[in-house]
């Protein structure tokens, strides 16, 4: 079994920043690897270097099983990545990120997601309109979504759902287009990626009414109670776990992670949003997922490689079984 270095405290991280160098030690069944690496996010170089990023956590790769992280929810079409998108994405696989699902949210992001799918072999797409964007929905857009769902590398309909936090669109409109996009997923035989914010009861009711368990999918950035998690788990759905798990006020989410079986969890970032501690408030990327992995491993008393292997299998089963 490969051992992963434990997370450093904020004090230790400041020491790392001063030294600008860390040593990670990995003990495997076959050999011991000592990796010495610079940490670009701690040193903040003018031009980012992505080589061996977070190597102390990412270099867990098991030679026999070849396990890699499966990032199930990111937005690399976002303008936050305009300055270094190609360099960042080109660094992913050498840093242990095997697959990425780029999730569209707006009408414009559909085309940008398609471009990323075509450019990068390991990037797949989810096609749908976020509840804040359903004011742009009409039958022509639904037809475009259907066409894009039939692209070779489209693996899900999303992100779709309900958002009562911003109140950008009225609840009735959100619910109507949520149901329509759920039905689209059923017709196109694709799983769904669900967005739900301050809309726990209504989201669950729509999912039950539309028999979403038969469609399959995951609840992105799950933020509700253990009891609500149980309802989704009984439907056979997955829970997306991201950087919020590392926040100090994430007690409820930690309870959910402890309760939920590992074979119903997915790893995600929602990049460029919701960066984990110690990078909270900064631009997020899939390269931060090891920090999430470590939290899950600690909560569930597992090794990091066990978390990586199982969540990769979960995502492969959900998104790539028919690819």
User: Would you kindly state where each structural domain of the chain is located, as residue ranges?
Assistant: 67-319
Rounded mean pLDDT of 59-76?
Answer: 75
Rounded mean pLDDT of 218-227?
Answer: 97
User: What pLDDT digit, counting tens, does each position of 4-16 carry?
Assistant: 434 433 433 433 3
pLDDT at 65: 54
Neighbours of 282 (CB within 10 A): 12
pLDDT at 48 over 60: no
Neighbours of 93 (CB within 10 A): 15
pLDDT at 15: 36
pLDDT at 127 over 70: yes
Per-residue CA distances from 116 to 32, 120, 155, 263 (Å): 37, 6, 14, 28
pLDDT at 204 over 70: yes
Rounded mean pLDDT of 262-286?
Answer: 97
Alpha helices in the chain (DSSP H): 10-19, 40-43, 55-58, 85-90, 107-119, 139-149, 171-188, 200-209, 212-215, 226-234, 251-259, 289-300, 304-319
pLDDT at 61 over 70: no
CATH number of 67-319: 3.20.20.140
Rounded mean pLDDT of 157-179?
Answer: 96
Cis bond leading into 159, ω under 30°? yes
Q: What are phi and psi of 36, to 5 degrees?
A: -115, 125
Per-residue CA distances from 151 to 70, 101, 137, 217 (Å): 20, 14, 20, 18
Rounded CA-CA distance 193/214 in Å is 14
In percent, the amount of the chain with pLDDT more than 90 equals 78
Q: Using the Cα atoms of residue 103, residue 278, residue 33 and residue 36 in order, give the sign of their dihedral.
A: positive
42 within 8 A of 21, measured Cβ to Cβ: no
């Amino acid at each position: 079994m490969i051992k992963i270095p434990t997370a450093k405290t904020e004090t230790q991280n400041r020491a790392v920043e001063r030294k600008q160098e860390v040593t990670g030690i990995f003990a495997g069944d076959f050999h011991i690897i000592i990796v010495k690496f610079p940490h670009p996010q701690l040193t903040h170089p003018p031009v980012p270097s992505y080589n061996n990023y977070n190597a102390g956590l990412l270099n867990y790769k098991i030679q026999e099983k070849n396990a890699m992280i499966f990032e199930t929810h990111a937005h690399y079409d976002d303008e936050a990545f305009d300055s270094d998108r190609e360099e960042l994405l080109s660094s992913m696989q050498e840093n242990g990120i095997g697959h990425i699902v780029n999730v569209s949210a707006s009408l414009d992001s559909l085309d940008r997601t398609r471009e990323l799918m075509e450019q990068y072999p390991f990037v797949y797409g989810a096609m749908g309109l976020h509840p804040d964007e359903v004011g742009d929905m009409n039958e022509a857009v639904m037809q475009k979504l259907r066409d894009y769902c039939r692209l070779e590398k489209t693996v899900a309909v999303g992100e779709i759902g309900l958002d009562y936090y911003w109140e950008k669109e009225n609840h009735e409109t959100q619910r109507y287009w949520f149901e329509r996009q759920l039905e689209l997923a059923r017709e196109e035989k694709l799983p769904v990626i669900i967005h739900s914010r301050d809309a726990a009861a209504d989201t669950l009711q729509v999912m039950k009414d539309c028999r979403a368990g038969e469609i399959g999918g995951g609840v992105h950035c799950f933020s509700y109670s253990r009891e609500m998690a149980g309802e989704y788990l009984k439907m056979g759905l997955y829970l997306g776990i991201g950087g919020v798990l590392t926040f100090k006020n994430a007690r409820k989410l930690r309870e959910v992670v402890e309760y939920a079986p590992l074979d119903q969890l997915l790893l995600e970032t929602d990049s460029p949003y919701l960066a984990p501690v110690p990078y909270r408030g900064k631009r997020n990327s899939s390269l931060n997922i090891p920090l999430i992995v470590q939290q899950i491993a600690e909560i569930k008393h597992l090794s990091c490689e066990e978390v990586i292997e199982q969540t990769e299998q979960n995502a492969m089963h959900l998104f790539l079984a028919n690819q």
